Structure 1
């Protein structure tokens, strides 16, 4: 499945990459969604809401209506109707299904396979990913008696009009004439090519090598990254379901060794407080003061939030002050997540990234413990 053309920033080298790409084409770093956008984290937060709703409604679990799902004809119906719909439109479905045993999860995977989701499949004990012959991509994840179903529609392609820039002329033409150009400029291009098997992908990799893209190469079963002698960077990826992506861009401007040394020395003591200003500030434990304050405030709030939600979930739901506080906490939670998300843009030094991940892990563990104690039975 090809996700829509959204971009994110590689946390290691700060290169903009498309959201569906699994590894950074510049440095090879494996890319993951920010933890607060991953299904399991969203599910943990939703458990809080479900816990509150179940308390007020005498522990009646939240249910979803399968008939309301736009893409329901593309999937078998789960056995449990307890859960929550996150995304429901003609392009994507994201469904969290609770009260699902391991056997029911395995049965559901088998039912999906019987519906044709067997192309380029990947499976382990708690996850299944595959395409059907129309290009729909299905991902099923199983976690703690709950199942997450994610379905996305294929990217629309047509006759491929190969970019006409001088840069694009450095590449061989793909064998297939079906595809889509998502970006094209004198400094780079991004192209999807359909009707491309794994063998076709490997043949295209060899053709690019013949064209000189062999410098500092990195090759795997589903990807190939390399530069030519002029520093032009090529990224090839087999996306699955006979689709290949091609990204080519000119080298970024490099600074002199003197500038690099100066920057390195500055990073050990100061970091610009804002990209738009030249002022610098003293670091605290290698981190910008405002960054560390934001992380500490976020963690403190999340601990307070978890304590309140446990207290609220275990109440009888009639305390008016708790109801009022709950509404306030929901707004504070939204504000806290927005503030925390602002730092997840790749603009962190090594110390900040380490601390960011430590806070993330502690908060995630706290949420897991809290959700376990307040999940509806």
Structure 2
């Protein structure tokens, strides 16, 4: 039995009308299927919204290199790398003033050697050679710290290709790679002046073909096509990379002064070989390299457009918040993949294109930050 909602007369549960007053016996709205479904949708939507807006937190005491850096004011963010020799962390919910204070605290801890400050980014070393990089964008601060490369007495490689280079002034360093096809060498206790002097020596030794020179790098070939790449990493560390030319390059003429083919048949053969070689490259670059650079720039342009849209919002759009989390996750992977090319071997055309893409993207990011 239930009570009539109109006259409170007891009636059977299944009665369609009240025999006393004639009122219809309807189910309460909160027992109807559409109301139950609506509640379920709202609950699930609320849970999804909470999950999307939930911020990850980190424990600074669990950071391997926490003693070498100031503790950020916020503990909201993500740790991308937490190793004894490298830290990469994103600290969210950080104001511009908190970022500036963090830079000052870092300077107070000794990160003032070879310091570089540009816009909302700061880079410097401490006396022990730890390299710090701090940047700020859209209430988020990125902190990266790298331990110095361990070096000892530099034993210069005995390979034939290493013998093409002059010996550095410093005897402190580390040979990372040494094969018959190339070497990768760290040289310590080398100032920027020492670096430039060494680049001049290499040029005098024949590495002056197709050369490119900047404040902290020197790239060139010799007449045989051997490729040299010098870079100054900071903290009195120079990196030397030399490698033999690719097989296709080794077969090609090194200079324009070489003799012409002696017959029309040889001319046709040489022309076909050149066409085959050039077909493998795009504007002098490997297809996979060109594709990686273009994909990186395309994503970063898309990312900047989204960040402009996100900056104009009031932060209440659930869809934008979800997209923001997705972009930030992809951003770290894309940047890491892009920077990995810098650690590899690039020819002259690839190096130039890499720098062009990097410059365009950096300009775009600065425009968004303004």
- After TM superposition, the score normalised by the length of structure 2 is 0.60
SS where residue 246 of structure 2 aligns?
coil
Matched with 1:33 is none
Matched with 1:145 is 139
Q: Is the 8 A contact 1:178 1:195 kept in 2?
A: yes
Distance in 2 between residues matched to 1:263 and 1:249, nearest whole Å: 19
Structure label with greater radius of gyration: 2
Structure 1: gaps of 5 or more residues: 1-50, 269-344
Aligned mate of 2:213, from 189, 205, 219: 219
SS where residue 104 of structure 2 aligns?
helix
2:302 equivalent to 1:362:
yes
Q: Is the 8 A contact 1:54 1:62 kept in 2?
A: no
Aligned mate of 2:87, from 60, 76, 93: 93
Aligned mate of 1:159, from 146, 153, 156: 153
Matched with 1:200 is 194
Matched with 1:177 is 171
Aligned mate of 2:102, from 100, 108, 113: 108
2:74 equivalent to 1:80:
yes
1:278-293 equivalent positions in 2, closer than 5 A = none
Distance in 2 between residues matched to 1:75 and 1:170, nearest whole Å: 42
- Stretch of structure 1 that moved more, 150-159 or 359-368: 359-368
Instruction: Tell which has more relative contact order, 1 or 2 (C-alpha 8 A, sep 6+).
Output: 1
Q: Give me the CA root mean square deviation.
A: 3.2
Matched with 1:257 is 271
Aligned length: 249
Higher helix share: 2
Distance in 1 between residues matched to 2:224 and 2:145, nearest whole Å: 41
Quickly say closer, same or farther: Cα 1:358–1:239, change in 2 above 3 A.
closer
1:1-377 equivalent positions in 2, closer than 5 A = 55-56=50-51, 61-254=55-248, 256-262=270-276, 347-348=287-288, 354=294, 357-358=297-298, 361-362=301-302, 365-366=305-306, 373-374=317-318, 375=321
Distance in 2 between residues matched to 1:206 and 1:93, nearest whole Å: 36
Distance in 2 between residues matched to 1:350 and 1:219, nearest whole Å: 22
Structure 2: gaps of 5 or more residues: 1-45, 253-269, 323-370
| CA displacement, residues 218-274 of structure 1 (integer Å, 9 cap, x when unaligned) | 111101111222222211111110000111112222354312325667999xxxxxx
SS where residue 247 of structure 2 aligns?
coil
- After TM superposition, the score normalised by the length of structure 1 is 0.59
Q: Is the 8 A contact 1:54 1:61 kept in 2?
A: no
